[in-house]
Amino acid sequence: MPTQRPADVAKRLARASERRRLERDSAFRRVTFSLPRAQARIKAREFFAAFPKAAYMTEVESWRELPDDVIEFTMRRLPTAD
């Protein structure tokens, strides 16, 4: 990992703090997973089965590919179905 300057660390911490504040103020619940590609697909399908999109507004909010074919993704849903 390259050496980080204090300004870089401060920016990263500020972004993390803002992200936590937004998540706390949001009505949505978020869960982040980091799994091998095949298991990630299975986990996403299980999540949609447990919290159907029509009732919970469930969606994959973000995802990225990590080394060794690992997928990190965040699922977002409402806490209850109306």
pLDDT tens digit sequence for 59-81: 999 999 999 999 999 999 998 87
- Rounded Cα gap, residues 42 and 20, in angstroms: 27
The angle subtended at Cα 27 by Cα 25 and Cα 32, nearest 5°, is 90
Question: Phi/psi of residue 16, each to 5°?
Answer: -65, -40
pLDDT in tens, 45-61: 999 999 999 999 999 99
Contacts of 5 (CB under 8 A, 6+ apart): none
Q: Is the pTM of this model over 0.85?
A: no
pLDDT (0 to 100) of residue 56: 93
Reported as a pLDDT band with limits 50, 70 and 90, residue 37 is very high
**8-26 pLDDT tens trace:** 888 888 888 877 776 666 7
